[in-house]
Each structure stands twice: as C-alpha cells, then as structure tokens.
Structure 1
C-alpha cells in the first residue's frame, strides 16, 4: 500500500524545521531517548500520542480491559492524533514524537502515519523488553495491565514498518539499539543529530529534571519510574551484547519465553541494520595501525580508510610537510584538501555498519587544525614503544623509492601529538576513547579485538583475525607495498604472547644518531603517560 500525500516533506513543514517520529516498542528506552531530545532548543516532543486511542479511545485496539481515563480531545482517535502531529508548530525548530510500531499496525493502519516527518527506529534485545515490560505492568494500579501480552512488544511490527518506511517514507531512516545508547549516549546522540540535521547540545545528556513532557503525565508516573526525577543518562560502556551471551530464560513464563524467541527473529534483522559505528583510530608511524585496520576490514558491512589525511598533508595544495616529494600520478581527487577528506569521512555510506579510519595524530596539528577532525565519530588510539616505532621507520624509509622519504623529519610522528590529541578528544569529543598498545595487541589479538568491539558496540567475528590476502582498500594500494611489508600477503595476525615489555628493559640505542636518540627519549615521556592509560586485559 503506497502512502497518500507528500512524504516525507509536506506543505506544512516549515523551512529549517526538523520533524522526526521514532518508532519502537515498550521498554526500549524510548522515553529516555525522548527525554534527551526534549532539551533541544525551540523543540516540541510528543510521547506516544497514538497510544491513547490504541488503549483508551473509541477505536481502541488493545486486547486489555482497562479502566477508562479522560483523554485530551485531540487524542481520542487515530485521525485526530495524525492531525495534531501535522500542525505547523511555526516557532519550533524540532518536532519529535516517540511512538510504538504496533500502534499503526497492521499495514492498513499506516494511513495514520503523519505526513512531513523523517523516521527513525529504536530497538532493544527482546529479553530486556519482555522482562522489563512484565515488571512494570505488575506495578500498575489498573488490573487490566497486570499481565503480559505479546501484542505490546511485537518486533515483527517494527520490522514491517521499517521496510515500508525505507520504500515509501524515508530511505535514510536509521535504527538505534538501546544498548549502544547506554554504552555511549553522547556519541549516539551526536550521530543521530548529525544525520537528521539537529544541533547537538550538552543538555541532551544533562538536563533540568523539572522539565517534563505533559504527555508523560497523562500516562502517569508509574510508567516512567526514576526517569521523571533524573537529570542525566546512566552510562554503562560494558553493557553485555545478549546476542553473543544469551540469557537464561528457563525461569520465565511460557508466554514470555515464546515472545522472546519469536521476537528474536525480527530483532536480529533490525540489529543488523542499526545505526553505524564510526571510529577514527589515531597513532603514529609503525604502531601496527595498518594491521589493526586490516582486522577491522574483516567486520561485516564495513568500509575502512587508510590515512586519507596523508594526501593533503604531503601532496595537496595545503601540504604542511617540509619534504620534497614526487606527487603520485594516481592522487585521489577527494584527497587534495583537508576539507575534502573531512567531507569524505562524513559521507553517509548507506548500508555500512562500520566506518573505520586510521590516521596519524600529527595530521591535525598544530592545534588550529583540530577543526579538520570529522564530526560524528568515536575515537581510539594506538601506541607502541618509541624504540620500536623508530627502528621500524628507519628500516622502511631506507627502502623508499622517493628520495624525499629517506630521512626522519622531527615534526612528524611525535608522541606529543598523540598525547595532546588524546587530551582534546576525551575532554571535547569522546570521553570513552580508549588507548591500545601494539604489544598488548600482539600478545593476544583476539582478546584485544573482542574488548575493542564490545567497547564500541561492534560484533566481533573470526574474519577480523583471518582474512583473504588480496582484499585491500584503495588507499593501501595507492601507497604501495613498501610501506606495508608482508601484510599485503598475510591472511592472519602473527601472535606473540611472549613479546618483551620494553619499559622494563633498556633498549640499546647506541646505533642511533644523536638526533634520533633525542627524538626517542622525548617520545618516551609521552608514551609512558599513554601507556598508563591503555586498555588492559584482566589476568
């Protein structure tokens, strides 16, 4: 059934006004998400307007027998709710509604979906939604709610509405998983705002608890519990992925078990389509960053970038290097300026679950160039003992064909840049950014990658450790094989659980020149600071 009227832009939508309806199910943290968006400047939010006619209106579709409540006149029927959504709201920059997919299901009821809106979806593992819904239902004063009904948490309704939305309403609609929101609310909300053209504010995650949505009060406090008095989002960066670690449901009622199992079919489909994870990993020369990127290339539905900022740094019209280099004939057009690289990173990449880029910290220094950092990304850092990075760099530079790369330049690859960028990131962009030491990575690559994936909301897969040897991205091929050694032909990571701890030893630097020794010693000061803050595995 095709929709009538203009979608998603209707004549009633005001210029520069963003309208979004977020569809989900009970207990998907949808009220929390709405609570965040309530703090957008010049905004109006609606809390389940369609739930009122569904449960209490003259067209009520629920199977429950409920005690009647006084309904606002504009919420007694589905048609009136649609009209309310389609009002002009001339003075508002954002109009946001949170709704449940089953309110407008099955498909013949899609006619009530308001015109002029973007769409988004919020999901949560069915075990969490089902058990949470059962718990809150038992607390309700109305005995009609004191039982679990599967009709209130049908993920099939979300899946069907999602497919319909992509075809007829909003081809760019995104799905957010509640666990990703809890792991890192700021990054999820920043990405959401960027996608839908909303200006992100710090008040989205820290708010005045006295500011409430009047629709929430119509339903009653018992549905929202401590959210009504909260003033921030409770973050848990280590929340479990229940698809990887399935919960025990044997003690639940048969009806709840059946609901979880049937909903898991559609949850998995939606989970695979959910909002992207976008990560920039910063480091310096020879930190095994290309090996780490090679692992990320094994993630499903991923796209990776290998130092696109290197093009404008060394070869572009804004080149900052002091080297005299030969400009490659195949220099990509979208790499000629830092602004073009930023736009490349910020492109939508539809159909991709992971967007991963590896970059060098010195590409965005001095400080006035921090503005080149792409928006909407999580961040991570990769370090390695400076003695190892310098030894490896001297070796690889001796094999370069371009004479401009035969010497070390002191402004490149410094650990001071990594330290300063790390401080900037955790203070201004991503407080949950982590540091990985290459030696820890080599000691146990699987454990490090699993921890990394869990932290950033990714699914670890075996193809991150074992890959096809000729599957590379275009930037690697552009740089040439001399920079990457035998990585171009490998199909796995060379694990070394006995790799030496260089900080507990004093490496012999007698073969280094005085200038090189000075660089290593200075870099060690910042490496030690970063090393203390690195991700560590529990023994």
Structure 2
C-alpha cells in the first residue's frame, strides 16, 4: 500500500495546492477511531501510519520487532521515500490527512517536518491519559500473544511513546508553529464539537457525517499490520462512531488477561503521566 501511494508523488510536491495535516499520537489514544472518522470526508486522502514501514521494516529501521518477510528490508521503505507518501498528489483530493505515531520518527528528523516541502503542513496531536492508554496497550499486547516488557523495549510502547510525543510537540511549539492538541477523553465526550474545532483549526472540511461510519475492516490497516490488526483495531473497525461500541469479540482462542497488572506496566503509567499533563495544557477546551 505504501509503495503504491508513493508512486503518486509528483516531481514538484511544494507546488501542490492541497491542505496537509498530520495527527501525531501514541499507542491506544483512540487514533484509529479518529482516522476512521476522517475517512468519511469526501475529497480527503487519509493515510494510515505511513512511517510504520520505515520504522519496522526498511533499511533504516529503528528496531527488529516485526519480521514480516514481505516487507522486511524493502529498499523502498527509507524515511525519505516514505516522506513522499505525505507529499504525493492524490487525484480527486483537495486535502491529505495522515495519522502517525510520533515514536516512528527519529529525533534528528523532527526539523524535516516543518521545513521545505513540509513547511505548510498543519500539525496536530492526539493524547490520552496513560492510565487508560497504557493499560489498554498492555491488554492488546497480551491478546496478541506478546510479552509487554520485550515489546516496550523494542518499540515505542509504554512510556517511550508518550515521551516521544511530548518531545515532538515541544519541538514544534518551540519553532512558533501553531498546533492543535486533542485529548481523547474530550473527543469521546463531545465528538461533534471537538471535530468541528479540529477541522476549523487544521483546514479540513467538517461534515457531520464524519461522526458515524459503517462497521467493517479497513484494507490498508490490515495490509500494514497483518499479524495484529484485529487485536489493535477491533473497536475502531467494528464500532459505528465515537462512543458507539463494537460488538464483543470472541477471545476464547486468545491469551487471557492476567488479573494483576504487572509492576512494569504500573511504572510506565506513572512515568508517562508528567508527559501527558504537560501536553494537556495545550488541549482544545471542550465547550461547556
């Protein structure tokens, strides 16, 4: 999917008139539901974590946690090449939206996304209280048959994800750029208001239709995350809107969730709270 999208890039992406928006986030911050909402907008190209392939599979990959042989060491999955997916011209679209994990981006590349061809991109952030996001992440990792400790050490899980998100937000704000910060709790509490504000601040076209969607699998979610996409995206795929619960999944064949939360999970939660609180100060205020 990433390769196919990148082939659409023009030779002069800085000349394109399209609006460009990136939603930076961490794991289990309701970002899949957020992206699912954006997919309801006509004329908006929605991109699912373009740099996932660069981070996990490409020649510059940051770890060796995932080992899908179809993607591993694909020479096309360099960071520069994947950037072209964000810069590509998509026929019939007047805006491009990308949901991206902040931890995919090496710190030395932060400046790349506010300069040159990226200078007109709008940057937004979706955060969530780690007492909810990391706990949900731990459960998803267990359901996937993985070990939380080894997973967090090899990727952007746990405190790493929240710390990197804060670092990126702090960097972009330090340049004087305006950012839009959304708390997942506010999004779920008042999705209509939050999405109206989000669209107004980022330049995306608001449509009330984006508050609901038809349940079903999303092709490129599965393509990029073959092994685990159902464990991680079930609620977003099979719900019908913000706060509209998906039907229960049959988990009888999956590992069970331990009754006692491991100490390392609790530790990650506590270490992540200061990053969350620092970012929360910049959140869109919910209409009382």
**TM-score under structure 2 length normalisation:** 0.78
**Within 5 A, what are the aligned runs for 1:124-523?**
194-195=14-15, 275-321=17-63, 323=65, 325-329=66-70, 336-365=77-106, 367-371=107-111, 373=113, 375=118, 376-400=120-144, 407-409=151-153, 412-413=156-157, 414=160, 415-428=162-175, 431-470=177-216, 472-479=218-225, 480-494=229-243, 511-523=260-272
Q: Which runs of 5+ in 1 are unaligned?
A: 1-191, 197-274, 497-509
Shift in Å, 1:330: 5.9
Provide the C-alpha distance between the structure 2 equivalents of 1:354 and 1:312, rounded to a whole number of angstroms: 23
Cα deviation code 1:32-71 (max 9, x no counterpart) = xxxxxxxxxxxxxxxxxxxxxxxxxxxxxxxxxxxxxxxx
- What SS does the corresponding residue of 1:358 show, helix, strand or coil? strand
SS state at 2:96 partner: strand
Provide closer, same or farther for how the CA distance between residues 395 and 406 of structure 1 changes in structure 2, counting only shifts above 3 A: farther
Distance of aligned partners of 1:295 and 1:530 in 2 relative to their CA distance in 1, 3 Å threshold: same
In 2, the alpha carbon distance for the partners of 1:468 and 1:328 equals 32
CA contact (8 A) 1:308 1:475 kept: no
Max Rg structure: 1
CA 1:311 to 1:473, structure 2 compared with 1: closer, same or farther past 3 Å?
same
Q: How many Å separate the matches in 2 of 1:512 and 1:421? A: 29
- C-alpha separation between the residues in 1 aligned to 2:96 and 2:233? 21
Unmatched tracts of structure 2, length 5 or more = 1-11, 246-258
Shift of 1:347: 1.1
What residue is the counterpart of 1:202 in the other structure?
A: none
Structure 2 contact 27–137 (Cα < 8 Å) conserved: yes
Q: For 1:392 and 1:336, how far apart are their aligned partners in 2?
A: 29
Residues 466-518 of structure 1 deviation map (CA, whole Å, 9 limit, x = unaligned): 2233373524443132220232222222169xxxxxxxxxxxxx943333222
Over aligned residues, Cα RMSD in angstroms?
2.9
Instruction: Give the Cα–Cα distance (whole angstroms) in 2 for the partners of residues 193 and 478 of structure 1.
Output: 25
1:6-42 deviations in Å (ceiling 9; x for gaps):
xxxxxxxxxxxxxxxxxxxxxxxxxxxxxxxxxxxxx
Between the two structures, name the one with larger relative contact order (CA 8 Å, sep ≥ 6).
Answer: 2
Q: Give the structure-1-normalised TM-score.
A: 0.43
Judging changes above 3 Å, is the alpha-carbon distance between structure 1 residues 333 and 486 closer, same or farther for their aligned structure 2 residues?
A: same
